[in-house]
Structure 1
Amino acid sequence: MRLQNKTIIITGSCTGIGKAIAQRCVAEGAQVLIHGLEPDLGQSLVNELGPNNAALHIEDLTNPDAPQHLVDTAITAFGKLDAIVNNAAMVVASNLQTTDLDFFRKMLEVNTLAPFALIKAALPHLTATKGNILNIGSVNAWSGEPNLLPYSVSKGALMTLTRNLGDTLMRENHVRVNQINPGWVLTENEAQRKRDHGLADNWYADLPAVYAPSGRILWPQEIAAAAIYWLADESGPISGQVVDLEQHPFIGRNPPKDTSTIPAPPN
């Protein structure tokens, strides 16, 4: 098992990509702290994984004390901390005209500052175990959709944080920091968002090739499979790296002339 006896905090892991990462981590021998805002879904996942393998902490990450609460809960439950996965994110569509400063600050607070705060809180324990940090970003970090302005900026800032700390913490603490940028992923929340936008329940079954050359978009389990490499010792001393996980080159592609009927990806 690639994560035998490792303890990992995974934010935003009651659903979606975070849930898939938690399931895969336990399958690889780890113990995980599940986090999110949905106590029923979180408890259901803990029950699935088993109380010896998982614990649950429900709290809004914008609470100033939340990062320390997460670390304390993991240490109390499992005795040490080997890694954190900053996966929790706020995904809301908005552009220059529809974004005000309060909303922009909220997006940065959740998507960029909360990961920074958790890294600071966890660092003493990660230093002790020579552990690692995995940030979950987005391909939109490179520029982003017009209607995902603050979201894209927040993920771009997270990417810079990863590269900066990936150098600093490796030199000073022997703690690795890396990031994966998923493309368009079929999570439960994404499926529901598109239904809320008026699309059919099976909207993802027939997508234009410009967005899904393979005929489908990514699954959370595929992101989780990639995450294990960065959380495991087999990635060695590699730090400060950002890897895009998409089925096509995201930058420089030519969209179709008529995009009016295409549901825009959120990630």
Structure 2
Amino acid sequence: MLTLPKLTMRLKNKVIIITGSCTGIGKAIARKAVSEGAKVVIHGLDEAPGKELVSEMGNDRAVLHIEDLTREGAAERLVAIALQAFGKLDAVVNNAALVKGSDIHSTTLPFLRSILEINTIAPFSLIQAALPHLTETRGAVLNIGSVNAYCGEPNLLAYSISKGALQTLTRNLGDTLNRENHVRVNQINPGWVLTENEIRIKREEGFSDDWETKLPKVYAPAGRILRPEEIAAAAIFWLSDESGPISAQVVELEQHPLIGRNPPKDMSVFEG
């Protein structure tokens, strides 16, 4: 008789802060993490879906914090909530991001600064605040970047700059903190993901309700774009002890080669 290996929870009793986890990729990561035995700090700006998610997971497994990460002391408060609720901190997932279109002509300096504050400076601040506690647990940081870090879409200039900077942050700290603090820092760069926010943005841009079913092969060779749950499945490896001492790595989750692939501005194929 074939004996199957006993399944174990890959994140059993690990405490993880996940920013931007009331919806989208962050929500999927939170759900997957809890299913693997973790306790999580849910964070976001929209209280209603956050409360619903905590209720789904249970108060013994999740706690909610609603706050703009650009506020002074926000990072320290997130860390304090994790310690107060669960007594330690094993990992941080920097997922929260602001996605707004701009190009060289429309990107003002205040706009660029606002994107950098959320997408690059806030992750740095949270790593800095969490570091003493991650050092104690030999923990991990997982940054959620974007394939736009390499070249970027023409209409996502500021966003692409911010994700390029986040990638450099990951490479730099992933080396330094692994050597000096035994804290691993890695990054996932997702491609195009069908999140609630992406659906909302496309509707606001005038795309048809069924745009995701009309994707040309240049965007989606498989006939569809990625789902948040697929990003979450990959995230668990980097948050678990399975990834061992691996640090300073950036992994692309996309269905086509991405270096040099720069989609055109005209996406009218989805409209109408």
TM range (shorter): over 0.9
Give the deviation of 1:126 after TM superposition: 0.2
- What amino acid is the match of 1:90? L
In the aligned structure 1, how far is the partner of 2:204 from the partner of 2:117?
Answer: 25
Give the deviation of 1:198 after TM superposition: 1.1
Aligned partner of 2:92 in structure 1 is 84
Pair 254,104 (structure 1): closer, same or farther in 2 beyond 3 Å: closer
Aligned partner of 2:232 in structure 1 is 224
* RMSD between aligned residues: 1.4
Q: Partner of 1:64: helix, strand, or coil?
A: coil
- For 1:29-178, list aligned pairs within 5 A: 29-178=37-186
Aligned partner of 1:208 in structure 2 is 216
In the aligned structure 2, how far is the partner of 1:184 from the partner of 1:163?
Answer: 23
Deviations 1:220-266 (A, max 9, x none): 0000000000000000000000001001111134868x9452459xx
In the aligned structure 2, how far is the partner of 1:183 from the partner of 1:79?
Answer: 35
Deviations 1:46-88 (A, max 9, x none): 0011111100000000002100000000100000000000000
Aligned partner of 1:3 in structure 2 is 11
In the aligned structure 2, how far is the partner of 1:226 from the partner of 1:13?
Answer: 16
- What amino acid is the match of 1:261? S
Structure 2 unmatched runs, 5+:
1-8
- What amino acid is the match of 2:19? T
In the aligned structure 1, how far is the partner of 2:77 from the partner of 2:247?
Answer: 26
Q: Partner of 2:172: helix, strand, or coil?
A: helix
Pair 127,95 (structure 1): closer, same or farther in 2 beyond 3 Å: same
- What amino acid is the match of 2:268? T
Pair 114,260 (structure 1): closer, same or farther in 2 beyond 3 Å: closer
> Which residue of 1, 12, 15 maps to 2:23?
15
Deviations 1:117-175 (A, max 9, x none): 00000000000000000000000000101111110000000000000000000000000
- What amino acid is the match of 1:122? A
Q: TM-score, normalised to structure 2's length?
A: 0.94
**Structure 1 runs, 4 residues or longer, greater than 6 Å off:** none
Give the deviation of 1:99 after TM superposition: 1.0
In the aligned structure 2, how far is the partner of 1:30 from the partner of 1:61?
Answer: 23
Q: TM-score, normalised to structure 1's length?
A: 0.96
In the aligned structure 1, how far is the partner of 2:124 from the partner of 2:241?
Answer: 23
In the aligned structure 2, how far is the partner of 1:21 from the partner of 1:120?
Answer: 22
Identity of aligned residues (%): 68
Confirm or deny: 8 A CA contact 2:189 2:251 kept in the other structure.
yes
- What amino acid is the match of 2:187? Q
Most deviating of 244-253 and 103-112: 244-253
In the aligned structure 2, how far is the partner of 1:33 from the partner of 1:253?
Answer: 36
Deviations 1:19-40 (A, max 9, x none): 0000000000000000000011
In the aligned structure 1, how far is the partner of 2:188 from the partner of 2:145?
Answer: 6
Aligned partner of 1:191 in structure 2 is 199
Structure 1 unmatched runs, 5+:
none
